[in-house]
Structure 1
Amino acid sequence: MARTWLKVLWVGLTLWAATVIVTIVTANANLLPTIVLLGSFVVPVAFVVWAYEHGTSGEVTVPLLFGAFVVGGVLGVLGASLLETYLLHPSLWMYLGVGLIEEAVKLAALWFIARRMRVHTPRDGLVLGATVGFGFAAFESAGYAFNALFTVQGISVRAMVETEILRGMLTPLGHGLWTAIAGGVLFAAAARHRGRLRPLDGAVLLTYLGVAVLHALWDSMHGIAIATTLLLTGTIWQFQLLEHGYLPQATAAQNHLITVLNWIGLGAISVVALVWLRVLAARSRIGSPPPGPLP
């Protein structure tokens, strides 16, 4: 099997690391946008190539992939930004609202990109869904990296690099994975509607709600870990501070437990999503056409 995605990943990471080193050595601020773009796009692009290498029909071309990544990603972040600004307010259910909005706009972007395809196979839905999700993740990560650059102490290349490393490591388990699941079910449902994409199909709606819940749990996991730690190890004075509207300072042991619970929760969410994707991928092989050419 071709390993083009590995070449893309390692070449991209090498260029990113070289840019970071040169920027630190020369203090050349003109290189900061290059760090932001390379650090945000290398991993998502590599995993789009990985998804494409695992087989698609002739309907999925490189230009279509490019459109799904760029147009789908930009439409996703713009739609999410508008809806979250005007519809969401700080509350206990805010993260659920974020999950519902972002998964809806990514699904809508996928439908827009794929609406003129003549044939919709589940395998193509997985690949195009992943591509839209990774495009969304890339543009979102660029925003987070840019914001991390500016701190109260001034410009911090270190904070930006740390943000890109963390988000790059988590990228394969986030937006691309969730939208791949939704895309696979959306394209599979086309067979029940004479080849037409129907986002309001029952199975598609249930899948959308499922990935939105996974998204919400992922975003809120740190808060869930804090709440669980307080319930398990909280002291009287900590609960008294909470009653008066203050967030108590965690002890060293509690901070350790929060970190452990946070990563356990993220791991559990990832396992559920990966198993779900695996089942969809296995079903998509049944009756699928031969894979298209590799890039």
Structure 2
Amino acid sequence: MADQSVGFSVAAGKRAWLAILLAGVLVWLLAAGVTAITKDAILVPTLFLIGSFLVPVTVVTFAMARLDDCRLTSGVVLIGFIAAGTIGVVVSAVTEIYLLPTGSGPIGNALGFFGVGLIEEVSKGAVLVAVAWRVRERTVHGGLVLGATVGAGFSAFESTGYAFYAYVQHTDDHPELSILQTEVSRAMLAPFGHLTWTALLGGALFAVAAPTNGGFRFTPRVGWTLLGVAALHGAWDASYGWAIWVTQGLTGSGWIADWPDDSYWEGVPTKQQMWVFQVMYDGALVVIGLIGVVWVVRTWRHSASHTSTPPTANAS
């Protein structure tokens, strides 16, 4: 009976993410409906918070339930989540304003996209390292999960800002619908963006750190991982402009030898162009997201097989 009870509790813990997701969606839709009917602006922050935090919290819950080879306490997870969403977001925003190039053209736009990716990944990495000093046992799995937690906090708070911006822009034109559209799109993409990129960086940092209470090192593995996730981040941000550029080239508007940006439409796009654009844009995000997911899965499995390999007996 005791063994059955333990098994039940473990299984229930691994399904907690589904309960959080379903309950959160229900409350979120209920709050949206009540807000739309009553026009009560006091309920708008509820929409911001539930819609922006639901998927990041769900993914972190899913990952935490499958972590069995290191000790990530609830305090470490909570601090990482909040610190990334507050300090990380603020520091990266200020840094981007003062360090990124303001010029246009192919070089300026390319540096801008890659620069945003590099700055935000470094900011999240700094938060991760600061929080990880509290972790007593460091494994690659622990780094992946703590990195995903830091990325989740950054994503949740950033999405709240985007939802607020959508509300301000459409105050007199169905603001609740604008909030829902913004949050649905960002929620669907959240697991494949900040959560994936910072998880990879966390796994690399933990892989080269001392197993217990030691310092972190900047090794070639960490450096290449940082450049890789920054490149994925930059490509993700640039995909919108690239989709417009490809769409106009394919639909007869002509190919222009320039680095495209968000304002690359020439005139008002036709219905056909919008369909082509959506396919190009979604396709680009799918490819970039798959690269990150495959990278995470391979890192997780490689670490698991390496950890589970019994030591070779010393034939002496």
TM-score by length of 1: 0.89
Runs of 4+ in 1 over 4 A off after TM superposition: 191-195
- Give the SS at the match of 2:209: helix
**Which residue of structure 2 lines up, in the alignment, with residue 218 of structure 1?**
236
Q: Which residue of 119, 125, 137 corresponds with 1:119? A: 137
In structure 2, runs of 5+ residues without a counterpart are 1-10, 257-263, 309-316
Distance 1:36 1:152, change over 3 A: closer
Alpha-carbon offset, residue 259 of structure 1: 1.1
- Cα distance in 2 for partners of 1:95, 1:45 equals 27
Matched positions, count: 282
1:100 aligns with 2:112: no
1:262 aligns with 2:281: yes
62-71 or 278-287, which moves further after superposition? 278-287
Percent identical residues: 39
Distance 1:279 1:195, change over 3 A: farther
Q: Which residue of 174, 195, 198 corresponds with 1:176? A: 195
Flag the structure with larger Rg: 2
- Cα distance in 2 for partners of 1:11, 1:79 equals 33
Alpha-carbon offset, residue 58 of structure 1: 4.6
Cα shift readout 1:150-190 (whole Å, capped 9, x = no counterpart): 12663612111111111111111110011001111110111
1:228 aligns with 2:246: yes
Alpha-carbon offset, residue 231 of structure 1: 2.9
The within-5 A match list for 1:194-205 is 195-198=214-217, 200-205=218-223
Aligned residue identity for 2:61: V
- Give the SS at the match of 1:154: coil
In structure 1, runs of 5+ residues without a counterpart are 240-244, 290-295
**Which residue of structure 1 lines up, in the alignment, with residue 298 of structure 2?**
279
Cα shift readout 1:20-62 (whole Å, capped 9, x = no counterpart): 1111121111111111111111111111101101114452011
Alpha-carbon offset, residue 224 of structure 1: 0.7
Give the superposed CA RMSD: 2.2
Q: Which has the higher contact order (CA 8 A, sep 6+)?
A: 1
- Give the SS at the match of 2:20: helix
- Cα distance in 2 for partners of 1:193, 1:101 equals 28
Q: Which residue of 77, 82, 85 corresponds with 1:65? A: 77
- Cα distance in 1 for partners of 2:230, 2:168 equals 31
Alpha-carbon offset, residue 221 of structure 1: 0.5
- Cα distance in 2 for partners of 1:246, 1:6 equals 41
Alpha-carbon offset, residue 193 of structure 1: 11
